[in-house]
Amino acid sequence: RDRGIVGAVFTRRPWRRRGLARALIARSLETLRDRGMASAYLGVDGENPNQAMTLYHSLGFEIETTSIDWTKPLPNQPPTDGAPQGGMTR
């Protein structure tokens, strides 16, 4: 059996603490179970200053791994010499 993914859930500040995210995630979990999924996955910013971690834990999620994601801005224009940015030419 497979693992389903719960997509990103965001609640705008004026609508927080009303159970909206809990209801959306709970419904998503029901749908995943109904479709034969054995488990559910969601990703979260480990430094989330809101109550997201508490919510996920209360819904039965457990921390599986922690990770650091890296990103690199790309320029609007490619290099003029044809070399990949950060690459070397001979």
Q: What is the mean pLDDT of each run of 10 residues along the chain (90 residues)?
A: 90 94 97 97 83 92 89 83 60
Q: What local confidence, expressed as pLDDT, does residue 68 receive? A: 84
- Structural domain includes residue 83: no
Q: What local confidence, expressed as pLDDT, does residue 87 receive? A: 57
Q: What local confidence, expressed as pLDDT, does residue 69 receive? A: 84
- Structural domain includes residue 73: no
- Structural domain includes residue 79: no
Q: What local confidence, expressed as pLDDT, does residue 88 receive? A: 58
Structure tokens at 58: 């209360």
- Structural domain includes residue 30: yes
From the list 42, 51, 58, 41, the residue with the least C-alpha distance to 13 is: 51
- C-alpha–C-alpha distance, residues 50 and 14, integer Å: 13
- Structural domain includes residue 76: no
- Structural domain includes residue 20: yes
pTM of the predicted protein model:
0.70
Number of domains in the chain: 1
Q: Domain of 16?
A: 3-58
- Structural domain includes residue 75: no
